[in-house]
Structure 1
Amino acid sequence: MVEHLSKTGLVLLADWVVGPAGTVLSKAGVGSIGGVIERIFTSHGEGVRWAREVGAGDPMHLNGVLAPGWVNAHCHLELTGLAGRISCEGGFPQWIGRLMKAKSEFALEDYRQGVITGAQALLAGGTTSVGDIDSQGVMGRVESPLRMRVYRESLDAFHPQRTPGALEWVRKPMECSGLRGEGLAPHASFTVSPALMRGMARLARGRAAPVTVHWSETQAEVDWLLRGEGRLADVLGPSPRCSGLHILEEAGLLNGELSLAHGNWPAPGEEESIAQADATLVHCPGSHQFFGREPFPLRRYLDAGVRVALGTDSQASNQELDMGREVALLRKNFPWVDPRMAFCMGTEHGARAIGWGTSVGRIQEGFHCDLMHVDASVQTAADAMELLTGENPPVAQVWVDGRSVLTQERA
C-alpha cells in the first residue's frame, strides 16, 4: 500500500472505467483520498454515497472512458530538443554519429528544457509515469507533475581507465521524494565493461533500485559481443566474446528488477532466460519504425512468457512522445494481439518495468490515483478498449496523485 500525501478526496464517475488486466466496468467510478485510490465503485450511486460519507465534495461525472494513465517504460526526455534534427539515413551507426555531434553542441540548459518539454508532451497524451534516462544529471533542476523513475546512466566503452570515473558518477544516491524515484542505467552490454556492470549492480542492490539496460538493439552489437566482428570492432577494440545477456547475468542483474530496452535480436533461448528471470522487455514501436527495422520478434517473447512493456525512446528517434501512439502502432503491427494485452503493455507491464508494479499502472485500491480521461462516446466495453488501444484518441484530462495536472478541450 502507498502512503497518503494529503487527505484531499476525489470522486470520479464515468461511463466506462478500465480496471486491472484490461477489465472494463460500466457506469463505474473511482474514489481517492490523498492521491491514493480507496474505492472502486460499481455504480454511480455508490460513488455519490461514498463522497458524502468522506466529505469528498461533489463527484465529477465524466463522459467516455476513465483509465489508468499510460506508463512509458523507456524514454530519453533530455533529448527532446533534438526532435526532427537527427536523420537515420545510412543506418544506426551514422545516426549515433549525428547524435553525438548534436549533443556536443548542447548546454545543460538544453537538456533541462528538453526534459520539461518532453514531460509535458507525455502528459498531454495521457502518460502519468515514465522511466527516463538521465545521462547529464539535470533531473534535480526539473519540476514536473509527471511521475518519474530517473535512471542515472553511465558507461565506460570498455576502457579500464574510464571505469572508476563512470562508477563515481552514479555512486552518490539521488535525493528523491514524492513523484521521483532513482534507478540505475548501465548504458548497454557493449558500452559498459563487466567491471562497471558489476559495480553498478552492487549500487543497485544496496539502494533497492531498479535497473534498465539497452540490450540487443542492433545486429552490430551482437556481432561484436559474440565474435569481435562487424562495424563496432574498430571502435570498441577487443570483444568479451560472450552475449550481452551473459554479461548481465554474471553481474547479478538478470532478475525481476531489470528492464531490457529494445531486444530486437535475441539469440535462440534468450527469451526463455528473460522469462525465467522475471525481467521485463521494453519494445519501442515508434523508434523501431523510425529506423525501418525488421519486424520485432514479439511472438517469440510472448510465447516464452516474457513480460513486454512499451516505451517511446527519445524524440531524436521518434516522431512524437505519445504513448497512445505507441500502443496503436503495436496493434497495427501485430493485429493478433488482444486489445487488453496491448493495454496492459502500456500500463501495468510498464509499471512493473520501472519498479512501481505495486503502486501505479492500475485502477486498484491502494494504488496511486494516476488517471486519464478520454471524452468519447462508446457503446460497449470492447469498444472502449478498442478506442484506447487502436485509435490513439485525444486525452481530455490527466490526474497524478489525485491532482488534475492537465485539461484539454475536445476538438
Structure 2
Amino acid sequence: MPVSSAVIPDGAVVVDHSSIVAVGSFEEIFSQFPDVPVTECSGVLLPALVNAHIHLDLSVFGPVPQESSESTMCDWISSLLAKRLSSNCSDDEIRDAAEKAARDQYASGVGLMLDISNRYLGTFDSCPAEIVSLLEMLGPSQAAQRDAITTISELPSERMVTGHAPYSTTPDLLSYIKKRCTAQNAVFSLHLAENRDESLLLIHGTGCFAQFLKDRGAVSDTFPIPGIDTSGVVGYLQKRGILDRKTLCVHCVHMSSEEMKILAESQAHVCLCPCSNRFLSVGTAPLEKFLDFGMLPALGTDSVTSNPQLDMWEEMALLRKNHPTVAAETILSMATLGGAVAMHRDNRYGSIEKGRTSDILHVHGEQYEKAAYPQQLIELLTSGGRPERMDWLTFSE
C-alpha cells in the first residue's frame, strides 16, 4: 500500500540498506531483480505512521481528566499545572516515562514523531523511530517574554524552539521564535484554535483564558491585541509573518472559512488531534472544509494527559466515525504522507516509493486476508483500531 499511489496486489519492494530501490508487482520486480533474496509477507505493507504532534515530556503525569461536564479547557490546564507542581518527579523519571512512550509509539507503527516538550530530553537509544524535538516556549506578558527571549538566546544554535499558542505567547515573542525557525529552516509548530475562548481573549480580552491569565497577573499588558479584524486569529498571525510552508498549526477546531482560506493560501500545514479534542470536549475540527481548500492535514495524538490511548490507529478510527463522507484513503494519507509533508520529511517518510526509508510496516491477520478488494482493505485499516498483528520490516545496516 504505497499511499502515494494505488494499492498493488501481490506487490513487492526492493530495498538496499536504508532505502527503497523499487516498488511494483512481484512479477515485475522479480524479473528486474531475480537474484535478490525474497522475504515473503502475508498481509499489508505500509509506510510508517507519522505522529505530527506529541508531548513526550508529559507522559510521566498520566491522564488528567476533566473534573465535570461543565469544566472548561482552562480548568483542565489548571488541573494539569497543579499535577505537575505537586508531582515532584525527577528529571530521570520524566525522561524514562518519555522514552517508554516513544517506544510504545514505535511498537504501534509510528516511525516519525514531532515532539513538543518544555525540556530537552535528548535522544532515546531504545527507540528506533526518528524524533524531531521542538522546545516549547510560553510568554503571555512582557516580563515573561523577556525571560523567554533570554532563555532562547542562551541555547545552542542548533536547538530548535517553537511557540505554544497565541493565547499564551506575546506577538513579539511569536515573531522572534518564528524568525529563529526560519533561520534554521525548522518547522514552527503552534497550538491554534483549539478552544473558542482563544479568539475571545485575543479580540476582546474576555473568556476563560482571560480569567486564567488574570489570575496569574499576565493579561493586562498583552491582551486583547489591537487590530484583529474579520480574518480573526489566523489573519493576525498572517500579518505577524508567522504563516508559511514551514508553519504547522495544531488542532484548528474553531476556524472560519476565511481563516482556513488564509492558511491554505499561506501554504501552512494543519495537524488534527481528534482523540484529544474528544477528551477535552472542545469540538470537532472541520476536516471536510480543509480538504475542500486543498489541504491534507496531518494527524497527531497530543499528550497522554489529554489522550490516554495515545494511538494513531484510534485517531484514524475516530476520524472515520466523525467524518464518514471522507474517503478512507484520505485518512490513511493523513496518518502517513500528511504528517511527513507537514514535517518536510516526505523525502524519507509517508509513502512506499523509491528513495524512501526501508523501514516498512507489516500488518497482517485474517481480517485483512479476507478483504475482497483494496477499498475494503483500506476501510479495515482505518476504522478497526490498532491491528492485533503488526511488525517492522527493517533492512538498514
- Give the drift of 1:280: 1.2
Q: 385-394 or 104-113, which moves further after superposition?
A: 104-113
- Give the drift of 1:267: 2.9
Which of residues 47, 59, 65 in structure 2 aligns to 1:80? 59
Give secondary structure in 1 for the equivalent of 2:42.
Answer: strand
Q: Structure 2 matches for 1:26-175, cutoff 5 A?
A: 26-43=9-26, 46-47=29-30, 50=33, 52=35, 58-87=37-66, 89=68, 90-104=71-85, 105=87, 106-140=89-123, 144-157=127-140, 159-171=141-153, 172-173=155-156
Q: Could you list the per-position Cα deviations for residues 303-352 of structure 1 after superposition, in whole angstroms to 9, with x for gaps in the alignment?
A: 22223111111110012121111111101111111111111111101111
Greater fraction of residues in strand: 1
2:246 matched to 1:257? yes
- Give the drift of 1:209: 0.5
Q: Is the 8 A contact 2:194 2:282 kept in 1?
A: no
Q: Which residue of 2 aligns with 1:9?
A: none
Deviant stretches of 4+, over 6 Å: none
- Give the drift of 1:399: 4.5
What RMSD over aligned residues (CA atoms) do the two structures have, in Å?
2.2
Q: Is the 8 A contact 1:21 1:340 kept in 2?
A: no
In structure 2, the CA distance between the partners of 1:108 and 1:124, relative to structure 1 (3 Å rule), is same
Q: 23-32 or 37-46, which moves further after superposition?
A: 37-46
- Give the drift of 1:44: 5.2
Q: 80-89 or 213-222, which moves further after superposition?
A: 80-89
Question: 2-side partners of 1:403 and 1:216: how far apart?
Answer: 41
- Give the drift of 1:137: 1.4
Question: 2-side partners of 1:356 and 1:39: how far apart?
Answer: 19
In structure 2, the CA distance between the partners of 1:296 and 1:260, relative to structure 1 (3 Å rule), is same
Q: Is the 8 A contact 1:190 1:244 kept in 2?
A: no
Q: Which residue of 2 aligns with 1:275?
A: 264
Q: Which residue of 1 aligns with 2:216?
A: none
Q: Which residue of 2 aligns with 1:347?
A: 336
Which of residues 363, 377, 380 in structure 2 aligns to 1:384? 377
Q: Is the 8 A contact 1:189 1:247 kept in 2?
A: no
Question: 1-side partners of 2:305 and 2:5: how far apart?
Answer: 32
Q: Which residue of 1 aligns with 2:276?
A: 287
Q: Is the 8 A contact 1:20 1:364 kept in 2?
A: no
Q: Unaligned stretches of 5+ in structure 2? A: 214-218
2:81 alignment partner AA: M
2:138 alignment partner AA: L
Give secondary structure in 2 for the equivalent of 1:272.
Answer: helix
Q: Which residue of 2 aligns with 1:203?
A: 180
- Give the drift of 1:293: 3.1
Q: Structure 2 matches for 1:227-242, cutoff 5 A?
A: 227-234=204-211, 235=213, 236-237=219-220, 238-241=223-226, 242=228
Which of residues 365, 372, 394 in structure 1 aligns to 2:388? 394
Q: 343-352 or 226-235, which moves further after superposition?
A: 226-235
2:238 alignment partner AA: E
- Give the drift of 1:51: 6.7
- Give the drift of 1:391: 1.1
Q: TM-score, normalised by structure 1?
A: 0.85
Question: 2-side partners of 1:168 and 1:141: how far apart?
Answer: 28
Q: 378-387 or 112-121, which moves further after superposition?
A: 378-387
Question: 1-side partners of 2:284 and 2:200: how far apart?
Answer: 19
Q: Is the 8 A contact 1:131 1:149 kept in 2?
A: yes
Q: Which residue of 1 aligns with 2:292?
A: 303
- Give the drift of 1:232: 2.1
- Give the drift of 1:143: 5.1
Question: 1-side partners of 2:239 and 2:335: how far apart?
Answer: 30
Which of residues 202, 207, 213 in structure 2 aligns to 1:225? 202
In structure 2, the CA distance between the partners of 1:342 and 1:368, relative to structure 1 (3 Å rule), is same
Question: 2-side partners of 1:86 and 1:197: how far apart?
Answer: 30
- Give the drift of 1:353: 1.4
In structure 2, the CA distance between the partners of 1:91 and 1:231, relative to structure 1 (3 Å rule), is closer
Question: 1-side partners of 2:34 and 2:247: how far apart?
Answer: 40
Could you tell me the percent identity over the aligned residues? 25
Give secondary structure in 2 for the equivalent of 1:315.
Answer: coil
Q: Unaligned stretches of 5+ in structure 1? A: 1-17, 176-181, 405-411
In structure 2, the CA distance between the partners of 1:71 and 1:285, relative to structure 1 (3 Å rule), is same
What is the aligned length?
375
2:362 alignment partner AA: H
Q: Is the 8 A contact 1:112 1:142 kept in 2?
A: no
Question: 2-side partners of 1:196 and 1:164: how far apart?
Answer: 8
Question: 1-side partners of 2:257 and 2:374: how far apart?
Answer: 38
Q: Is the 8 A contact 1:287 1:312 kept in 2?
A: yes
Question: 2-side partners of 1:383 and 1:141: how far apart?
Answer: 37
Give secondary structure in 2 for the equivalent of 1:62.
Answer: coil
Q: 360-369 or 229-238, which moves further after superposition?
A: 229-238
Q: Which residue of 1 aligns with 2:314?
A: 325
Give secondary structure in 2 for the equivalent of 1:396.
Answer: strand
2:55 alignment partner AA: H
